[in-house]
């Protein structure tokens, strides 16, 4: 059986709060939000999960973002150099979803096959006003997608699974490792989404839930809760998309 190591590649950070990740819970509690993507070497192929966003590109998306305390860590090219490749060397990009901070650099991977769920592509082409700013149409319009419909094996030991709720077409990425199945969650989340304390309703918020908390940004919060529960049930290792600890890991596992 093929097994892999996953390398998080961090491009930028933002001093933020937990609330946008955790529905009606941990509101106002500070956290560093990382903007990260993941590299997997699969034989002679380079696989990325998402492509993240650099600090300056985020600032330039909207005048309001210029006031936010983004911290640049490295460029997309510098991050790829750490794993010995360039954008032209990327063979596969698996898009968890098409929000700006997950898709921004994907057009630079011009030789890659880009996998995305059909429902996510359709929503991105005509997003609801509540999430319109999140979908950079100029970036997304440059990408030719390999359309995915439901669960699918991408390579031996690497598969995708729909986890809707944060967006209509979110997909988790399941990777076989020497320590079991690692699951990149597919929706914007932190560790607390998956491991809230059993007394979370009394210690954090009366609206909090256990054993998981839905994503704070969502198109369907009930779907989001069920997707978080699904990820927790199938994963030996959970990799939340915006967890600072997971983003700073050298390799997973």
Q: Is 50 left (phi over 0), alpha (psi -120 to 50) or beta?
A: left
> What's the rounded Cα separation, in Å, for the pair 69 and 16?
9
Per-residue pLDDT of the chain (253 residues; tens, 9 = 90+): 899 999 999 999 999 999 999 999 999 999 999 999 999 999 999 999 999 999 999 999 999 999 999 999 999 999 999 999 999 999 999 999 999 999 999 999 999 999 999 999 999 999 999 999 999 999 999 999 999 999 999 999 999 999 999 999 999 999 999 999 999 999 999 999 999 999 999 999 999 999 999 999 999 999 999 999 999 999 999 999 999 999 999 999 9
Is residue 165, in this structure, part of any structural domain at all?
yes
* Residue 128 domain boundaries: 6-245
> What's the rounded Cα separation, in Å, for the pair 21 and 25?
9
Domain count, the chain: 1
Q: Which residues, at least 6 apart from 89, have a Cβ–Cβ distance to it below 8 Å?
A: 46, 80, 111
Is residue 252, in this structure, part of any structural domain at all?
no
| Strand, coil or helix: 120 | helix
Is residue 251, in this structure, part of any structural domain at all?
no
Is residue 132, in this structure, part of any structural domain at all?
yes
Is residue 33, in this structure, part of any structural domain at all?
yes
Task: Kindly state the tokens that stand for 161.
Answer: 């699974």
Is residue 253, in this structure, part of any structural domain at all?
no
Question: Which has the closest alpha carbon to 163: 232, 100, 102?
Answer: 232
User: CATH number, domain at 97?
Assistant: 3.60.15.10
Is residue 233, in this structure, part of any structural domain at all?
yes
Is residue 1, in this structure, part of any structural domain at all?
no
Question: Which has the closest alpha carbon to 14: 74, 69, 73?
Answer: 69
> What's the rounded Cα separation, in Å, for the pair 38 and 8?
4
């Amino acid at each position: 059986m093929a097994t892999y190591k996953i390398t998080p590649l961090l491009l930028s950070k933002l001093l933020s709060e937990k609330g946008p990740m955790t529905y009606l819970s941990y509101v106002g509690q500070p956290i560093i939000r990382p903007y990260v993507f993941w590299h997997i070497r699969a034989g002679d192929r380079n696989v990325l999960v998402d492509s993240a966003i650099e600090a300056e590109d985020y600032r330039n998306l909207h005048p309001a973002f210029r006031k936010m305390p983004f911290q640049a860590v490295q460029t997309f090219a510098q991050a790829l150099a750490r794993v010995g490749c360039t954008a032209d060397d990327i063979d596969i990009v698996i898009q968890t979803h098409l929000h700006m901070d997950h898709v921004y650099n994907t057009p630079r991977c011009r030789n890659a096959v880009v996998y995305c769920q059909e429902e996510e592509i359709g929503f991105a082409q005509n997003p609801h006003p509540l999430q319109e700013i999140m979908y950079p149409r100029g970036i997304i319009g440059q990408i030719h997608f390999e359309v995915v419909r439901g669960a699918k094996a991408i390579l031996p030991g690497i598969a995708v699974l729909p986890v809707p709720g944060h967006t209509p077409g979110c997909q988790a990425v399941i990777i076989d490792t020497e320590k079991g199945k690692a699951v990149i969650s597919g929706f914007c989340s932190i560790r607390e989404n998956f491991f809230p304390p059993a007394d979370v309703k009394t210690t954090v918020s009366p609206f909090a839930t256990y054993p998981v908390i839905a994503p704070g940004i969502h198109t369907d919060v009930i779907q989001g809760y069920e997707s978080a529960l699904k990820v927790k049930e199938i994963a030996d290792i959970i990799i939340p998309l915006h967890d600072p600890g997971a983003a700073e890991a050298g390799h997973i596992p």
